[in-house]
């Protein structure tokens, strides 16, 4: 027996990669090799990667390799050289990877608190905290753990057949594209599938009387626990591979289980690699508080649905299902595109503040949500809601919707075994129309195909479903089904204002076909004596460039237009709306899309037809002045965004917006359009230096950090800044060079940042004095933040600080300020102080 002793060198411990490397060396010889970890007391055979990993070896653990067999000497020599020269460098690549937290600027509370953060893309806004529920396929199989077993021999035979099936599948995958990442993953999965230790555990469980699938699940659970216990993020990622292999084996044993829906605890955060819109609908049932997905495009129907449901969503989180375990405490930050694992107290407090801020914004906007959206110069823009059910429509009207601009009727058809009947559809549409109480409801006819598959409709499997038999293109195949929908819509038309809209139109014949179906439907209802409106407007969605270029032609045969900017962008840029690889290209602010939008709006107006826009672009506040300038009569968006869009329309001035639109059309890149819009936004606001909304007289902040965050939040709530995190950082740049306490319990933090829209003062009076590093040792009970726009303000803030400081050393001024009865009184005092010292000219 030979032995090699060494201290384990790798910072990530003995994870799959070094274990595989060790295993590869041993495989070349005939000897048996065992690794013993003298700290954990665990040993594992080097013939199994999982057994090696299971020794829970961490950096610095004393280890012994014991070698026995005929070629002991040669094996020892090879292993000694492996341990000395190769092993210590196996993590170099991992260690040289930049820490993920350095990719994006994190809010200070997260960066300082060293939170574990996964960074993705913000897809649906809002913040939620809850327990993780990882939608690995494995979770669907828990019922199998109690499954009755057949005879052990029979179970073993089933198991072997399943292993052979999965191995063959993996070999096929590895062979399709050798050298690619997919092939490498298939290879790694094959190694796990064939791991002797895994197989031994499964077999022994079958020997104990378990059914094959139960044995697989138990073995997977056992090794998953081992991997998670290692405390290494790299190893935790392997757990996902293991779960995947186990799931494949179970499905091979029980093919009927592939699509079972799991039981998700109320309030849980759902994590999945990908999620079809229909699956989200089936799983949601009001119980999911947030979504974290490895991949999904920003206008994919899954994301569109998440927004409609008001569920915060982060996408582009590669490996998320492996990095998080079900049951872990998480925060999903849909505003910034972050997932925070096991938030500390300070991080949780920060997010509590964020949640409260979002709620304040919502509450403030709700005061004016029901008023019409009229521009400063008196032009009305209708703001409708995009919905998928009568219940959603009711919620939309509570958010101030002027109508339903898009009812996605196909959502009624998803997740069913057969199409909803004409009666059921009529009931649902009628309920929506009744909820509208005279406001218009635009019902879109079936838009299936693309990413919305409906098994019972028998749509063909296509190589490019978005370019295939989608929406109106499949109507000729199912005339009766479409006519039943039209009859249901017509029935609802007896109860209010209903308009019909056809999706994906690219040629006139499609409109004529729907018109003739509509005439037949109407005649059939009339023959039965069923009441319905005689004249129902028929419009089309403009979402294919062909339709955009033929608006003047279509205008002769349709009553209105509504731009589906999601699809129009997808088809104009030839960039799949759901494909993260082209997400960088997909933008509705691409100059080509902007020019098409302009042309559509112009041609529609010239032809005397109303034109709306109901894609995600309608909910983008930055784009709003552009859409007003282009002349859209109506915008329709997810209900939650309606109050903000209405408020933004009220700030618009049509001539200025028209000029903006003309400039946007001359832009040559997406970035230039965005820059133009940002510049327009900051220029068009006229703000006084301080107003009552920027003053808080009973601030509960318990530290300098919290007080500064609150001051920044006041600016954010007041609309004075466009990136709170960046402004907070800018404040801290100065705060860390020198304390901003000016003595007497007063601090004047300040910053200059490109994210400040207008020079502003915010003030908090603290309920209890907080430590501010003051030279006189006094705690601070009054903090005044001075924020100016970088580069544009010259020395405004210096003059303002000087002016304020001069007044603040005055005992009387200070005591009046500290005793001010309300925010308005504070504003008068501050404005007076600055005015007096700047010779009556307010800076900024």
Q: Report the interface residues with ligand PEP, using CB under 6 A.
A: 304, 406, 408, 447, 543, 564-567, 614-615
Structural contact between residues 241 and 261, judged by C-beta atoms closer than 8 angstroms: no
Rounded least distance, CB 564 to ligand PEP, Å:
3
Q: Compute the least distance from the CB of residue 541 to ligand PEP, in Å.
A: 7
CB of 247 to Mg ion, least distance (A): 33
Catalytic residue flag (residue 750): yes
Instruction: Measure the CA–CA gap between 371 and 380, rounded to whole angstroms.
Output: 11
* Of 75-83, 297-305, 359-367, 557-565: span binding Mg ion (CB under 5 A): 557-565
Q: Which residue has the tokens 């691409």?
A: 590
Of these residues, 63, 399, 614, 781, which one is catalytic?
614
Nearer to ligand PEP, 211 or 502 (CB): 502
565 binds, among ligand PEP, Mg ion, none (CB under 5 to 8 A by kind): ligand PEP
- Indicate whether 567 belongs to the interface with Mg ion (CB under 5 A): yes
Q: Which does 315 bind (CB under 5 to 8 A by kind): Mg ion, ligand PEP, none?
A: none
- Binding-site partner at residue 735 among ligand PEP, Mg ion, none, CB < 5 to 8 Å by type: none
Other Cβ atoms less than 10 A from the Cβ of 531: the count is 11
At its nearest, how many Å lie between ligand PEP and the CB of residue 685? 29
Q: Which residues of 762-778 are buried (b: 16+ CB within 10 A; e: fewer)?
A: bbbbbeeebebebeeee
φ, ψ for residue 11, nearest 5 deg: -60, -30
Contact region for Mg ion (CB under 5 A) — 395-403, 567-575, 687-695, 776-784? 567-575
The residue behind tokens 């050393």 is: 809
Nearest to 496 by CA among 536, 524, 528: 536
**Catalytic status, residue 15:** yes
Side-chain half-sphere CA neighbours of 361 within 13 A? 21
* From Mg ion, ligand PEP, none, interface partner of 243 (C-beta below 5 to 8 A by class): none
From the list 23, 590, 750, 755, the catalytic residue is 750
Q: CA-CA distance, 50 to 66, in Å (whole number)?
A: 18
In the residue annotation, 301 being an active-site residue is answered as yes
Give which of 327, 328, 283 is closest to 306, Cα–Cα. 283
Smaller CB distance to ligand PEP: residue 126 or 615? 615
615 touches, from Mg ion, ligand PEP, none (C-beta below 5 to 8 Å by class): ligand PEP
The region of 564-572, 756-764, 786-794, 821-829 touching Mg ion under the rule CB under 5 A is: 564-572
CA dihedral 510, 514, 515, 519 (to 10 degrees): 150
Residue 410 interacts with Mg ion (CB under 5 A): yes or no: no
Nearer to ligand PEP, 451 or 735 (CB): 451
Residue 720: which of ligand PEP, Mg ion, none does it interact with, CB under 5 to 8 A by kind?
none
Nearer to Mg ion, 547 or 804 (CB): 547
CA pair distance 561, 610, nearest whole angstrom = 6
* Cα–Cα distance list, 494 to 141, 430, 525, 534 (Å): 48, 8, 12, 9
Residues in Cβ contact with 768 at an 8 Å cutoff, skipping those fewer than 6 apart = 702, 779, 781
- 388 belongs to the binding site for Mg ion (CB under 5 A): no
Cα–Cα separations (whole angstroms), residue 629 to 194, 551, 707: 64, 19, 40
Closer residue to ligand PEP (CB): 34 or 636: 636
- 117 vs 598, beta carbon nearer ligand PEP: 598
- Min separation Cβ 479 and ligand PEP, Å: 22
- From the list Mg ion, ligand PEP, none, partner contacted by residue 335 (C-beta under 5 to 8 A by kind): none
Catalytic residue among 15, 23, 495, 755: 15
Contact region with Mg ion (CB under 5 A), list: 157-165, 254-262, 559-567, 695-703: 559-567
User: Between residues 289 and 566, which has the closer beta carbon with respect to ligand PEP?
Assistant: 566
Return the number of the residue (211 or 563) whose C-beta is nearest ligand PEP.
563
Minimal distance, residue 562 CB to ligand PEP, in Å: 8
Closest CB to Mg ion among residues 113, 277: 277
Quick note: the x/- pattern for Mg ion over 512-551, rule CB under 5 A, is -------------------------------x--------
Smallest separation, CB 471 to Mg ion (Å) = 8
> b vs e for 181-217, b when ≥16 Cβ sit within 10 Å of the residue's Cβ?
eebeebebbbbbbebebbbebbbebbeeebbbbbbbb
Cα–Cα distance measured from residue 169 to residue 182, given in angstroms and rounded to the nearest whole number: 13
**Helix 212-229 and helix 233-253: axis angle, to 10°?**
180
408 binds, among Mg ion, ligand PEP, none (CB under 5 to 8 A by kind): ligand PEP
Among ligand PEP, Mg ion, none, what binds residue 304 when CB lies within 5 to 8 Å by partner kind?
Answer: ligand PEP
* Nearer CB in complex with ligand PEP: 268/596: 596
> Which residue, chain included where needed, has tokens 């049932």?
285
Q: At what angle do helices 642-650 and 345-366 cross, to 10 degrees?
A: 60
Residue 798 class from Cβ within 10 Å (0-12 exposed, 13-18 middle, 19+ buried)?
A: middle
Number of residues that bind Mg ion (CB under 5 A): 3
What is the C-alpha R_g of the chain? 32
With CA atoms as reference, report the closest residue to 213 among 159, 271, 137. 159
Tokens for 104, please give them. Answer: 């994006």
Helices (H), 494-507: none
Residue 564 CB, nearest approach to Mg ion (Å) = 4
| Tokens standing for residue 682 | 């900051």
Note whether 697 and 688 are within 8 A (CB): no
Spatial separation of the C-alpha atoms in residues 407 and 496, rounded to whole Å: 15
Taking the complex as a whole, how short is the minimal distance between the CB of residue 473 and Mg ion, in angstroms? 13
Among 107, 564, 612, 643, binds Mg ion (CB under 5 A): 564
CB nearer to Mg ion: pick between 543 and 576: 543
How far is it, in rounded angstroms, from Cα 758 to Cα 349? 29
Are residues 27 and 52 in contact, defined by beta-carbon separation less than 8 angstroms?
A: no
> Would you say 410 or 735 has its CB closer to ligand PEP?
410
Alpha-carbon distance of 536 to 731, in angstroms, equals 58
Of 189, 301, 532, 755, the catalytic one is 301
Shortest approach of ligand PEP to residue 152 CB, angstroms?
53
Spell out the residues 6+ positions from residue 27 whose beta carbon is closer than 8 angstroms to its own: 47
Q: Which does 725 bind (CB under 5 to 8 A by kind): Mg ion, ligand PEP, none?
A: none
CB of 613 to ligand PEP, least distance (A): 8
What's CA 750's distance to the chain center, in Å? 33
CB 565 to ligand PEP: min, Å: 5
- Report how far residue 224's alpha carbon sits from residue 242's, in angstroms, rounded to the nearest whole number: 7
Q: How far is the CB of 554 from Mg ion (least distance, A)?
A: 16
> What is the per-residue DSSP string for 403-423?
SEEEEEGGGGTTT-SSPPPHH
Residue with Cβ nearer ligand PEP (408 or 797): 408
> Among all residues, which ones are annotated catalytic?
15, 301, 614, 750
Residues at the interface with Mg ion (CB under 5 A): 543, 564, 567
């Amino acid at each position: 027996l030979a032995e090699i002793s060494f201290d384990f060198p790798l910072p990530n411990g003995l994870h799959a990669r070094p274990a595989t490397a060790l295993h590869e060396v041993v495989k070349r010889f005939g000897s048996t090799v065992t690794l013993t970890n003298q700290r954990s007391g665990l040993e594992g055979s080097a013939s199994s990667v999982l057994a090696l990993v299971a020794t829970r070896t961490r950096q610095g653990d004393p280890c012994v390799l014991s070698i026995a067999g005929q070629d002991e000497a040669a094996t020892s020599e090879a292993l000694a050289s492996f341990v000395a020269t190769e092993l210590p460098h196996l993590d170099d690549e991992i260690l040289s990877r930049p820490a993920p937290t350095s990719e994006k600027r994190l809010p200070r509370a997260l960066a300082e608190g060293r939170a574990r953060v996964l960074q993705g893309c913000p897809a649906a806004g809002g913040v939620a905290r809850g327990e993780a529920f990882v939608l690995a396929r494995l979770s669907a199989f828990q019922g199998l753990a109690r499954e009755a077993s057949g005879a052990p021999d029979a179970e073993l035979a089933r198991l072997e057949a399943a292993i052979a099936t999965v191995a063959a599948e993996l070999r096929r995958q590895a062979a399709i594209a050798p050298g690619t990442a997919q092939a490498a993953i298939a290879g790694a999965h094959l190694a796990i599938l064939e791991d002797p230790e895994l197989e031994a555990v499964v077999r022994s469980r079958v020997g104990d009387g378990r059914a094959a699938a139960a044995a697989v699940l138990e073995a997977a659970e056992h090794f998953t626990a081992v991997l998670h216990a290692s405390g290494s993020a790299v190893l935790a990622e392997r757990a996902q591979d293991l779960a995947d292999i186990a799931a494949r084996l179970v499905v091979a044993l029980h093919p009927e289980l592939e699509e079972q829906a799991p039981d998700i605890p109320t309030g849980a955060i759902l994590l999945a690699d990908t999620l079809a819109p229909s699956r989200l609908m089936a799983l949601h049932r009001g119980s999911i508080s947030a979504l974290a997905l490895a991949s999904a495009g920003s206008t994919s129907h899954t994301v569109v649905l998440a927004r409609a449901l008001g569920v915060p969503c982060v996408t582009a989180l590669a490996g998320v299902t492996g990095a998080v375990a079900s049951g872990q405490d998480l925060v999903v930050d849909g505003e910034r595109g972050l997932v925070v694992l096991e938030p500390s107290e300070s991080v949780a407090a920060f997010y509590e503040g964020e949640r409260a801020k979002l709620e304040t914004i919502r509450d403030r906007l709700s005061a004016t949500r029901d008023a019409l959206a009229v521009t400063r110069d008196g032009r009305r823009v209708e703001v409708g809601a995009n919905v998928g059910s009568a219940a959603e429509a009711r919620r939309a009207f509570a958010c101030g919707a002027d109508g339903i601009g898009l009812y996605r009727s196909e959502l009624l058809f998803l997740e069913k075994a057969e199409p909803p009947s004409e009666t059921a559809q009529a009931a649902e549409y009628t309920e929506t129309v009744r909820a509208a109480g005279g406001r218009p409801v635009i019902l879109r006819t079936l838009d299936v195909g693309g990413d919305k598959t409906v098994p019972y409709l028998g749509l063909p499997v296509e190589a490019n479903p978005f370019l295939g038999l989608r929406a109106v293109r499949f109507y000729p195949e199912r005339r009766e089904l479409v006519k039943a929908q039209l009859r249901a819509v017509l029935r609802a038309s007896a109860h209010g204002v209903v308009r019909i809209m056809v999706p994906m139109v690219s040629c006139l014949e499609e409109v004529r076909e729907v018109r003739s179906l509509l005439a037949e439907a109407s005649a059939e209802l009339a023959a039965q004596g069923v009441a319905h409106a005689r004249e129902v407007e028929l419009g089309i969605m403009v979402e294919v460039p062909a339709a955009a270029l033929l608006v003047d032609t279509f205008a002769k045969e349709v009553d209105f237009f509504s731009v589906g900017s999601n699809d129009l962008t997808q088809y104009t840029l030839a960039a799949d709306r759901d494909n993260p690889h082209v997400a960088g290209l997909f933008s509705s602010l691409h100059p080509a899309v902007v020019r098409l939008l302009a042309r559509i709006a112009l041609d529609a107006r010239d032809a005397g037809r109303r034109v709306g826009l109901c894609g995600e672009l309608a909910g983008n506040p930055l784009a709003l002045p552009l859409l007003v300038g282009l002349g859209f009569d109506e915008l329709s968006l997810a209900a939650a965004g309606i109050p903000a869009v209405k408020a933004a329309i009220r700030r618009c001035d049509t001539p200025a917006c028209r000029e903006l639109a003309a400039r946007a059309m001359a832009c040559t890149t997406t970035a230039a359009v965005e820059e133009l819009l940002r510049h327009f936004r900051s220029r068009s606001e006229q703000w006084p230096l301080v107003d009552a909304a920027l003053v808080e007289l009973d601030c509960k902040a318990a530290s300098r950090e919290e007080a500064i965050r609150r001051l920044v939040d006041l600016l954010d709530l007041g609309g004075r800044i466009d990136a709170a995190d960046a402004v907070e950082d800018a404040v801290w740049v100065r705060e860390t060079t020198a304390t901003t306490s000016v003595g007497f319990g007063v601090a004047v933090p300040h910053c200059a940042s490109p994210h400040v829209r207008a020079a502003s003062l915010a003030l908090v009076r603290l309920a209890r004095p907080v430590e501010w590093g003051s030279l006189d040792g006094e705690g601070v009970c009054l903090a005044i933040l001075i924020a100016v726009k970088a580069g544009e303000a010259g020395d405004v803030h210096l003059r303002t600080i000087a002016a304020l400081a001069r007044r603040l050393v005055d005992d009387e001024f200070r005591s009046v300020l500290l005793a001010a009865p309300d925010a308005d009184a504070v504003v008068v005092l501050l404005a007076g102080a600055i005015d007096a010292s700047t010779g009556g000219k307010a800076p900024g």
